[in-house]
Amino acid sequence: MGFFSKNNSVVSEAEVLDALRSVIDPDLHKDVVSLGMIKNLKIEGEKVSFTFELTTPSCPLKDKLELEARTAVEKIAGDGNVKVAMTASVAMQMGVNKPAALSGVRNTIAVASGKGGVGKSTVAANLAVALAKDGAKVGLLDADIYGPSIPLMLGLQNEKPEAQQVNGHAMMVPLEAHGVKVMSIGFLVDPNTAVVWRGPMASGALKQFMSDVLWGDLDYLIFDLPPGTGDIQLTLCQTIPLTGAVIVTTPQDVALADARKAVRMFEKVHVPVLGIVENMSYFICSACHHREEIFSHGGAVKAALEFNVPFLGELPIETAVRIGSDEGSPIVVSGPETEAAHSFRDIAQSMAQQVSIANLLPSQKPVEILLGTEG
């Protein structure tokens, strides 16, 4: 324990910790000391330093919590005498049994949609890359066996995974792009050949991607599911206990009707719904900057309220998103300053936030997040 005198007062380690107990994590509703987020506290002369360990590097409240912690300690240590190092250790899904190949995976997240054509794979790819850019260890499993698009979207369509022997068993080494480990049936079949398989064969391929791939240590493994509520979805939910699911929809009624079915499916198999994303929410004309809500707007917010799940955010229609996907460079990489990239990053942070809540407060209902509801 360290001490120093300032204005005839004594500041100790205990007093610093007491000051930090005034900083409350707004999602977990506990002070950061009780949550074990304060590490490596040191007091040397007039200087106080400590590490603030978040539950995810994508925490949307990072700057706010750092400021509150610094301010709380400076009240007793003096302005300029406090050094805070912000780090993160991703909260892990506890009490679950997973295949050995997934033993190092802390969280598994399904990105799903009730119907095709809503941009689910685009969302999955950009969320994965956004998390990786924040410093998380991320994997992306393209579980859309019949229509794999992740190899194209990440610029890996001409690549093949290598095999590695592990304890006499051949394991596939995932490819990497933009800091994300990737596996897809698209790496193993001719891109011009249709995958004409019955449900059990497709389900078997998905199981192999979970058992025969060297995923290693990951904070998040994201599954890009095929549209609908069929064999692949059920196989995944029955093979591993998912941390949660993200539902992607567009605003119009026909898409929302199918999104509701997807939410109900995950409820039936006891998979928490981390939130709903509204894609193609609006279009901004590049010439006159007029906002046009081509497919209506706000339907996903209403669905989120209906099912009492978070609304993670809305995404605009931007030509650059399509171009980036076609060229193998997601918009969060190819156009980081675009409105779409900012939206993807915000949604990725909100999703990571919900993962932490699901792991650390499993009995608590999801925190309501309503973003972009104006207009």
pLDDT tens per residue across span 183-235: 999 998 877 777 778 878 888 889 999 999 999 999 999 999 999 888 899 89
Same domain, 186 and 323: yes
Contact 187, 154 (CB under 8 A): no
Q: Which own/partner contact pairs does 60-65 have at CB distance under 8 Å and 24+ positions apart?
A: 60/346, 60/349, 60/350, 60/353, 61/25, 61/26, 61/27, 61/353, 62/86, 65/23, 65/25, 65/32
Residue 363 is predicted with a pLDDT of: 58
Residue 333 vs residues 31, 132, 199, 251, 355: alpha-carbon distances, Å:
36, 11, 35, 26, 24
For residue 60, the domain's CATH number is 3.30.300.130
Same domain, 251 and 222: yes
How high is the mean pLDDT of the chain? Answer: 89
The predicted pLDDT at position 294 comes to 85
Name which of 7-21, 74-88, 165-179 the model is least confident about: 7-21
Same domain assignment for residues 214 and 265: yes
Residue 373 lies in a domain: no
CA distance 355 to 28: 12
pTM: 0.89
Instruction: Give the burial class of 321: count Cβ atoms within 10 A of its Cβ; 0-12 exposed, 13-18 middle, 19 or more buried.
Output: buried
List, in order, residues 6 or more apart from 65 with CB less than 8 Å away: 23, 25, 32, 52, 54, 59
27 occurs within a structural domain = yes
One domain, residues 214 and 353: yes
Write out the residue range of the structural domain in which residue 168 sits: 100-360
Q: Are residue 66 and residue 157 in the same domain, yes or no?
A: no
Pair (290, 189) in one structural domain: yes
Angle at 70 between CA 67 and CA 72, to 5 degrees: 105
Of residues 130, 85, 44, the one with CA closest to residue 340: 130
163 and 200 part of one domain? yes
35-51 pLDDT, tens digit each: 999 999 999 988 999 99
Q: Which tens digits make up the pLDDT trace of 278-321? A: 999 998 887 888 888 888 888 889 889 989 999 999 999 999 99
Smallest CA-to-CA distance from 150 within 112, 170, 115, 123 is with: 123
Q: How far apart are CA 346 and CA 311, in angstroms?
A: 12
| Number of structural domains in the chain | 2
Domain membership of residue 212 (yes or no) is yes
Question: 264: closest CA among 217, 221, 307, 234?
Answer: 307
The reply to whether 215 and 151 lie within a common domain is: yes
Length of the chain: 375
Q: What share of the chain is helix, strand, coil (3-state, %, to 5)?
A: 35, 25, 40
Give the amino acid at 223. Answer: F
Say if residue 286 is in the same domain as residue 308.
yes
Residue 368 falls within a domain, yes or no? Answer: no
User: So what's the pLDDT on residue 292?
Assistant: 86
Nearest one of 67, 73, 37 to 52, comparing CA atoms: 37
**pLDDT class of 360 with cuts at 50, 70, 90:** confident
Q: How far apart are CA 213 and CA 197, in angstroms?
A: 21
